[in-house]
């Protein structure tokens, strides 16, 4: 008997809090960029407390909020931006975040090659159709 894909898909849906649970202290987390930025997951990460101590947050272009750049979280998070958008500009300027200049086309190879390894990726996807 074949399982309907809708049933399989519905069993994989979890809350944002549950989705970020695998993130451990010291992880490097890539956050999807621009319009694909998973804001609910980002907020859950910031709200996770000590589970996300010493977390480096990588992003290409943050168009939404970046609560992890707030000075009150500087002991828990360190942002590393490949492009400095409004949400991270102050943190980079105040040296609470890093800027890594890189061509957009080079980013996937940095991850694949392990030169810039990531532990977790937070990305937004659409439901299957």
Q: What is the mean pLDDT of each run of 10 residues along the chain (129 residues)?
A: 77 91 94 89 90 91 89 94 92 95 94 94 85
**pTM assigned to the model:** 0.88
| Domain, as residue range, for 33 | 24-122
Please tell me the predicted confidence (pLDDT) of residue 90: 95
SS (H, E, C) 19-55: HCCCCCCCCEEEECCHHHCCHHHHHHHHHCHHHHCCE
**Structural domain total, the chain:** 1
Residue 32 near residue 122 (C-beta atoms within 8 A): yes
CATH of the domain at 87: 3.40.1080.10
Burial class (CB in 10 A: 0-12, 13-18, 19+), 81: buried
Please tell me the predicted confidence (pLDDT) of residue 2: 62
Using CA atoms, how far apart are residues 87 and 54, in angstroms rounded to an integer?
20
Whether residue 12 lies inside any domain: the answer is no
Whether residue 97 lies inside any domain: the answer is yes
Please tell me the predicted confidence (pLDDT) of residue 25: 93
């Amino acid at each position: 008997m074949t399982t309907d894909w809708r049933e399989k898909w519905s069993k994989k849906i979890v809350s944002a809090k549950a989705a970020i649970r695998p993130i451990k202290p010291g992880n490097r987390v890539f956050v999807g960029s621009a319009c694909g930025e998973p804001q609910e997951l980002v907020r859950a990460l910031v709200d996770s407390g000590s589970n996300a101590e010493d977390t480096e947050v990588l992003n290409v272009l943050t168009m939404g909020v970046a609560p992890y750049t707030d000075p009150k979280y500087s002991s828990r998070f360190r942002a590393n931006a490949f492009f400095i958008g409004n949400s991270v500009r102050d943190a980079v300027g105040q040296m609470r975040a890093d800027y890594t200049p890189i061509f957009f086309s080079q980013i996937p190879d940095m991850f694949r090659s392990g030169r810039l390894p990531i532990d977790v990726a937070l990305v937004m996807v659409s439901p299957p159709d």
